[in-house]
Amino acid sequence: MENDTIAAISTAVADSGISIIRISGEQATFVIDRIYRPRDGKKKISGQPSHTIHYGFIQDGDEVIDEVLVSLMRAPRSYTAEDVVEIHCHGGIYATRRVLDAVIKNGARPAEPGEFTKRAFLNGRIDLSRAEAVIDIINAKNEFALKSSVNQLKGAVHEKIKMLRETILGQLAFIEASLDDPEHISLDGYSDSLKKETEQLTDQIRRMIDSADDGRILKEGIQTVILGKPNVGKSSLLNALLREERAIVTEIAGTTRDVLEETLSMNGIMLNLIDTAGIRNTEDIVEKIGVEKAKEKAEQADLVIYVVDSSTELDENDREIMRVLSSKKVIVLLNKSDLSQVTTNEMVREFIGDSSPVLTVSAKENTGLDALEKQIREMFYSGEISFNDEVYITNARQKAALTEAKNSLEKVLASIENHMPEDFYSIDLMDAYASLGRIIGESVGEDLINEIFANFCMGK
């Protein structure tokens, strides 16, 4: 299977100007020779130099299917490190599929999802962390997610993991050498130096693990719940942020009974906005369900925007909301600043203290929203994110492997503390080394590799 020549449509299957069919494998040039006819009568693609483009026609037997450009990239200087041929034909579902059918009929088989990138990994062109970055780039929905994924594709995670593993390998080699030749290599005082080195390694890995939450937010967006009493302007705020009338707004308290979810890109920051039912004590069964859903969503949120009607007084319902928000990241919005102010910034701070920012806005007049955007950026990204120095972990598999490595290194520290023999250090150091190796694709099973690449889109 892995030596087969594969083919797939690498662009979206839709009406478009251009479509690309990619062929990869040992027989790629022979497959294209069977269906390609050069316009100027030059020699076949198989006789052409690498990294060249050729103009001609794709034929199925004697029938001309399309006028095309064909690019040739010979191994190992290609995406898969195999011979790769790409057919650039006219867009359109029918024409593109006819060209692919001709390719399949003449010696290639349909590629599985992610199989081109899988071959790039198996052929040693990229490691597993870079391969995972490819699908993250495809799925990126905001500026930060794209920059983080490109940084990982350039090798940021690979280089960091490589450095950590080299440090561990050096310690393993020293222990092994000292045990084999104790007369010439002394272990006196070694536990102290190993302890210092292991503590530094553990700290670096811990910081990478801690970055996983930021990485998830970069990749998926900030789960943002809009919370407040009924009729304080939550739905108006949602509409103002989205710049469209997405939520129903009336003067009747309790209009919103269920959660309403929308995605917003706010100058590169992606918010997964969730408008909820107003929280208050009520006997209405349907509204009660909505209130419970609102509290549940708030518990799961990365950020809660607590909307207060500044033209009315705070009451027991506000105190109930404060209890829900006690351990969350919160931005308090004093809404309806276009009306006479009854509740002030100072009054709100009596409830919540100084830990959460309080901003004055008017959803109706669209004022104060720039300050909200700035506050969100500072709260989650400290104003800016540096992708030159920071490594962000963006998926659960990598985080799990890092956690396993950290646990193993903590066992080394425990062994040092308990004055255990050096053999115990080696066992746990080797476990940490292996756990880190799984991030870049060393010592991973075939089932895991297949699972990772199965999540890719077809043609990539």
pLDDT at 1: 59
Do 204 and 239 belong to one domain? Answer: no
pLDDT at 388: 47
Do 331 and 373 belong to one domain? Answer: yes
Q: Is the pLDDT of residue 378 over 90?
A: no
Domain that includes residue 361, residue range: 221-381
Identify whether 334 is part of a domain: yes
Among 126, 161, 192, give the residue marking a domain's end.
126
Compute the mean pLDDT over every residue in the chain, rounded to the nearest whole number.
84
Do 192 and 227 belong to one domain? Answer: no
Do 111 and 140 belong to one domain? Answer: no
Q: Is the pLDDT of residue 254 over 60?
A: no
C-beta neighbour count of 416 within 10 angstroms: 19
- Range name among 27-36, 90-99, 186-195 with the lowest pLDDT average: 186-195
Measured at the CA of 191, the angle between CA 190 and CA 197, to 5 degrees, comes to 90
Do 305 and 256 belong to one domain? Answer: yes
Identify whether 59 is part of a domain: yes
Do 27 and 94 belong to one domain? Answer: yes
- Range name among 326-330, 345-349, 401-405 with the lowest pLDDT average: 326-330
Identify whether 315 is part of a domain: yes
Confidence of residue 350 (pLDDT cuts 50, 70, 90): confident
CATH of the domain at 290: 3.40.50.300
Identify whether 208 is part of a domain: yes
Identify whether 446 is part of a domain: no
pLDDT at 177: 84
Do 252 and 374 belong to one domain? Answer: yes
Find which of 118-122, 261-265, 381-385 is predicted with most confidence, using mean pLDDT.
Answer: 118-122
Measured at the CA of 224, the angle between CA 222 and CA 229, to 5 degrees, comes to 170
Confidence of residue 147 (pLDDT cuts 50, 70, 90): confident
Do 272 and 347 belong to one domain? Answer: yes
Q: Tens digits of per-residue pLDDT, 379-432?
A: 876 544 444 456 778 788 899 999 999 999 999 999 999 988 877 889 999 999
Residue 164 CA to residue 180 CA, distance in Å, equals 25
CATH of the domain at 32: 3.30.1360.120
Among 72, 104, 126, give the residue marking a domain's end.
126
Among 101, 126, 151, give the residue marking a domain's end.
126
Phi and psi for 370 in degrees, rounded to 5?
A: -65, -40
Contacts of 163 (CB under 8 A, 6+ apart): none
Do 237 and 376 belong to one domain? Answer: yes
Mean pLDDT of 26-43: 90
Do 175 and 196 belong to one domain? Answer: yes
Secondary structure in 3-state letters for 274-329: EECCCCCCCCCHHHHHHHHHHHHHHHHCCEEEEEEECCCCCCHHHHHHHHHCCCCC
pLDDT at 239: 84
- Range name among 8-12, 51-55, 178-182 with the lowest pLDDT average: 178-182
Identify whether 114 is part of a domain: yes
Do 248 and 358 belong to one domain? Answer: yes
Confidence of residue 215 (pLDDT cuts 50, 70, 90): confident
User: How many domains are contained in the chain?
Assistant: 3
Identify whether 162 is part of a domain: yes
- Range name among 28-37, 175-184, 379-388 with the lowest pLDDT average: 379-388
Do 374 and 245 belong to one domain? Answer: yes
- Range name among 102-106, 356-360, 448-452 with the lowest pLDDT average: 448-452
Confidence of residue 285 (pLDDT cuts 50, 70, 90): low
CATH of the domain at 163: 1.20.120.430
Q: pTM here?
A: 0.72
Identify whether 445 is part of a domain: no
Tokens at 216, concatenated: 């998830």
